[in-house]
Amino acid sequence: MASKNANAQRAYENALRVIDPWLEYKQYIRELPGMSVGIFHDGRMLFAQGYGFADSKRNTPTTASTSYRVASISKVFTAVAIIQLQEQQKLTITDPVSAYLNWFFSPGNPSTKKLTIKDLLSHTGGITRDGMTEHWNKDTFPTIEHIKQQVRDGGIQVLLPHTRFKYSNFGYAVLGELIHCVSGMTYEEYITKHIIEKLHLRHTVTSPASSQGTLATGYGRFIPRKRRETFRSADTKGFTAAAGVISNVKDLCTFFSALFPGDNRLLSEKSKKLMQKVVGRRKGEQFEYGLGLELWKEKEFRRSGHGGGFQGYTSYIQCDVKRRLVVVILTNAMDPVPRQLTLSIFHTLQAFEDRRFYASPSRTLQRYEGRYSDRWGKRDVVAMNASLLSYDPEALQPMKDIAELKPLRGHPHTFVIHGDSDFGNHGEHVMFIFGRAGTPIRMKWGPDYADAVSNNKRNPF
């Protein structure tokens, strides 16, 4: 097992030679203000990097330490807190919420009184998504007193319980108050003591005022020929348990890795399995939901995690428990980019492991590395094992149609194309032309020439 993990580690480290420049290009080409990415494997940070700006106006660069509003990823913190309280025998998740919160009853919705804690954790209670306040557009979130009043006024029960998966931020806001009632601590106090401090999460807080100047400025979605909207950082008030946590990629990797088997800092093995047991299902989707965790299955691998969207921010995190792998992407823009990038990173890591790219790349071959451009687009070239790999940095999955360039004996700087897409140049030759500085200035791919641009400081893209 140790040897297998070591090989996987080497494959993932080599995969970063594709992932890093590909992410940099994606941030540039999608005109994202900023983005931070973290990859964690088997007990250590494998990769943590920032791209773009945390504040575009001040040209403040993003780093691995930049904080973001992680929105609905907050629900995982809330679910862990609830399960901890069950382990402490202070509640049972199959109990009705009303057994702990006597105000959780709507005269017009008698079924509300029977809703269980588990129903709210798994989004199977059929209650309103966001209540009656327009906080996502007006930036003014309801207090817990407003939430209580909405329950008393009725109308929160939209569907009968267990009819279907129905996502509810409102339900998690109620769970935040449940934590307060059962533990005797505010939601913020509880997760600070029992999660944040226990894991030494230095950049994880529940209030923008506590982010110590590391919080990235939030920006709106990309609209052609318009400047992105800038958002002030709103106080989530009664919705903090649903969407209020602020964190960075390193802290989130630490938090999610604490849910791996063998790590009992937060929960017992039994409780961790309980969180990852499927409760809610979406029709026609691979996506499923446990207790505070989104769940996926791809081939023989199961993944868990969560996404998040807030005014000015989007985020996504996935974990592969079997491979002890965490990938997290945080952005300070409202474009729906993190999920696809996260899935693509997993695809790239898997491809490098499947192809057994364990060896360190040849230094002789590294001289050909770089980005090459013509009117049709870009090609990145990286050395791997005894050959070169070439991929399109604009591709959603850079390894999907990757070409392997194998040296042609007796012909300096010349390679034979293997693979490529079905409509590519398989079997033809690639030749690199060097300049006086001893670095490539052009690449001839089949009959076509492309200029080296990776060393062009005015336009490296």
Calculate the average pLDDT of the chain.
Answer: 93
> What's residue 285's pLDDT?
60
Same domain, 86 and 211: yes
Same domain, 316 and 378: no
Rounded Cα–Cα distance for residues 278 and 286 (Å): 12
Same domain, 119 and 253: yes
Inform me whether the pLDDT recorded for 343 exceeds 90: yes
Same domain, 418 and 309: no
The larger pLDDT score, comparing residue 2 to residue 387, is at: 387
Same domain, 319 and 371: no
Inform me whether the pLDDT recorded for 53 exceeds 90: yes
Final residue before a domain boundary, out of 294, 321, 336 = 336
Full residue range of the structural domain in which residue 64 is found: 31-336
Same domain, 136 and 200: yes
Asked if residues 323 and 8 have their Cβ atoms less than 8 Å apart, the reply is: yes
Same domain, 374 and 309: no
pLDDT in tens, 242-285: 999 999 999 999 999 999 999 999 999 999 999 999 987 766 56
Kindly state the average pLDDT of the residues 164-186: 97
Same domain, 198 and 321: yes
Residue 76 lies in a domain: yes
Kindly state the average pLDDT of the residues 86-102: 98
Q: How confident is the model at residue 212 (pLDDT cuts 50, 70, 90)?
A: confident
Inform me whether the pLDDT recorded for 18 exceeds 50: yes
Same domain, 327 and 391: no
Residue 2 lies in a domain: no
Same domain, 301 and 253: yes
Final residue before a domain boundary, out of 301, 336, 371 = 336
Kindly state the average pLDDT of the residues 162-172: 96
Q: Measuring CA to CA, which residue among 358, 336, 334, 370 is closest to residue 443?
A: 370
Final residue before a domain boundary, out of 299, 321, 336 = 336
CATH number of the CATH domain containing 111: 3.40.710.10
Kindly state the average pLDDT of the residues 238-243: 98
Percent of the chain with pLDDT over 70: 97
Same domain, 284 and 431: no
pTM for the predicted model, two decimal places: 0.94
The larger pLDDT score, comparing residue 174 to residue 421, is at: 174
Inform me whether the pLDDT recorded for 62 exceeds 80: yes
Residue 326 lies in a domain: yes
Same domain, 207 and 251: yes
> What's residue 45's pLDDT?
97
Kindly state the average pLDDT of the residues 446-461: 75
Q: What is the number of structural domains in the chain?
A: 2
Inform me whether the pLDDT recorded for 455 exceeds 60: no
Residue 194 lies in a domain: yes
> What's residue 227's pLDDT?
94
34-41 and 325-331: which strand pairing? antiparallel
Inform me whether the pLDDT recorded for 300 exceeds 90: no
Kindly state the average pLDDT of the residues 401-414: 95
Inform me whether the pLDDT recorded for 456 exceeds 50: no
Residue 255 lies in a domain: yes
Residue 214 lies in a domain: yes
Percent of the chain with pLDDT over 90: 85
Q: How confident is the model at residue 458 (pLDDT cuts 50, 70, 90)?
A: very low
> What's residue 155's pLDDT?
80
> What's residue 111's pLDDT?
87
Residue 351 lies in a domain: no
Inform me whether the pLDDT recorded for 457 exceeds 60: no
Residue 345 lies in a domain: no
